[in-house]
């Protein structure tokens, strides 16, 4: 197994773990952790293809990952602000109980 396939397998497994956690856990923050793991898996995929694919000197994959990290940071900040706001209203962070649109 060449290094590219090893990296891609690790990234696929990381994505699957993140997805399983985001779907199977009740707490909102754990869903967010799952989403961050999925984003990291995608970034790892991009860097692996940048390193082992054609034209690594064009730095396309590299820059893509930098912007993806910035976006992940912004999204984590907004997501956590939302979770805090929801907790303030509903006094719970259990996703099963936040199922009504009535404020």
Partner 1 sequence: MSPFFVITGIVTLLGAAFAMSLRNLVHCALAMAVAFSGIAALYLQLDAQFVGFAEILVYVGAIAILIVFAILLTRSGEAPENSVLTSGWMAGIAVSAMLFTMLGWAVLNSSAIPKEIPPAPVATVKNVGDALMTKFVLPLEIIGLVLTAAMIGAVIIALKEDSQKSKSEDGGQQ
Residues 7-36 that bind partner 1 (CB under 8 A): 7-10, 12-21, 23-27, 29-30, 32-34, 36
What is the maximum alpha-carbon separation in the chain?
A: 54
User: Shortest approach of partner 1 to residue 35 CB, angstroms?
Assistant: 11
Give which of 54, 17, 55, 56 is closest to 37, Cα–Cα: 17
Let me know: does 99 contact 30? Beta carbons within 8 Å. no
Q: How far is the CB of 53 from partner 1 (least distance, A)?
A: 7
The residue from 3, 42, 101, 103 that contacts partner 1 (CB under 8 A) is 3
Secondary structure class of 63 (helix, strand, coil): helix
Q: How many residues bind partner 1 (CB under 8 A)?
A: 70
Q: Is residue 4 at the binding interface for partner 1, with CB under 8 A as the rule? A: yes
Nearest residue to 33 (alpha-carbon basis) of 20, 46, 47: 20
In the block, which residue shows the tokens 């690594």? Answer: 56
End-to-end CA distance of the chain: 54
Which residues are near partner 1 by CB under 8 A?
A: 1-10, 12-21, 23-27, 29-30, 32-34, 36-37, 40, 43-44, 47-48, 50-54, 56-57, 59, 62-63, 65-67, 69-78, 80-85, 87, 93, 95-96
């Amino acid at each position: 197994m060449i290094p590219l396939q090893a990296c891609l397998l690790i990234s696929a497994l990381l994505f699957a773990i993140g997805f399983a956690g985001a779907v199977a856990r009740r707490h909102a923050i754990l869903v967010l952790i799952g989403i961050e793991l999925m984003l990291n898996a995608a970034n790892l995929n991009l860097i692996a293809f940048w390193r082992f694919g054609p034209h690594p000197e064009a730095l396309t994959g590299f820059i893509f990952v930098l912007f993806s990290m910035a976006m992940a940071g912004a999204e984590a900040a907004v997501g956590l602000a939302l979770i805090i706001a929801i907790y303030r209203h509903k006094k719970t962070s259990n996703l099963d109980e936040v199922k009504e649109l009535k404020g």
